[in-house]
Amino acid sequence: MTKKVAVILSGCGVYDGAEIHESVITLLRLDQRGAKVQCFAPNIAQHHVINHTTGEEMPESRNVLVESARIARGEISDVRDLDAADFDALIIPGGFGAAKNLSDFAISGAACVVQPDVLAAAKGFAEAGKPVGLICIAPHLAAKIYGEGVSCTIGNDAGTAAALGAMGAQHVDCTVSEIVEDEQRKLVTTPAYMLAQSISEAAAGIYKLVDRVLELTH
């Protein structure tokens, strides 16, 4: 039976949106495994816009849903319309957009607030006992979705791991090619570009995450 997977994007570009390599690798692996995918994003303004050639902020405004549509080739919906009942699993790629647009973790750290529509959608999967995959920096959302005691990884960065701990998550150090699974909650996480030095390194862990998320739908 074909599995239906929702993917929440956070814009387009590592510094102010969804990490493009992580997003495409996720979509590629889901397609290779025969899953049916629907992309979603919040219909909100980005936190800011970054010039990806210089790293400098640009004096303009962009919409997260509109920018995410670039990665999804136009096939994207507002995350407020995402109902866990319609899908078997959820995956959220990383990139700074996950910590700037899906929440304000990049600014507020452990005191961050998650965008309400994103949080409601993700909690729907958690409450239904459906598997969720969080990639790169996206695992900072875990404690907000599941509450205290959830196990996850962002790799081995001590400062970020400490922030996750302050939020109530249990951080597990993890190499770039591996995954961490919270079996009780059906949550799978992998470091990807928190550690990856190449696209193939990022793919190694993301492929394992996608495969395990799909296994957990059975």
- In 3D space, the residue among 120, 121, 127, 122 whose CA is nearest the CA of residue 185 turns out to be 127
Examine the pLDDT at 127 and tell me if it is beyond 90. Answer: yes
pLDDT for res 187: 98
Q: What pTM was computed for the model?
A: 0.98
Q: In whole angstroms, what is the distance from residue 148 CA to residue 10 CA?
A: 25
Q: Does the structure show a pLDDT above 90 at 66?
A: yes
The backbone torsions φ and ψ at residue 190, rounded to the nearest 5 degrees and listed phi first, read -150, 150
Return the pLDDT at 78: 98
Active site members: 136
The count of structural domains within the chain is 1
Distance CA 189, CA 96 (A): 16
**Domain containing residue 174:** 4-215
In the prediction, which pLDDT does 129 show? 98
Taking only the tens place, the pLDDT of each residue in 13-43 is 999 999 999 999 999 999 999 999 999 999 9
Which CATH number is 112's domain given?
A: 3.40.50.880
pLDDT value of position 1: 87
DSSP 66-134: HHHHHHTTT-EEEGGG--GGG-SEEEE--SHHHHHTSBSHHHHGGG--B-HHHHHHHHHHHHTT--EEE
pLDDT digits (tens, 9 = 90+) for 131-188: 999 999 999 999 999 999 999 999 999 999 999 999 999 999 999 999 999 999 999 9
What's the whole-number average pLDDT of the chain?
Answer: 98
Closest CA to 4 of 34, 28, 40, 41: 34
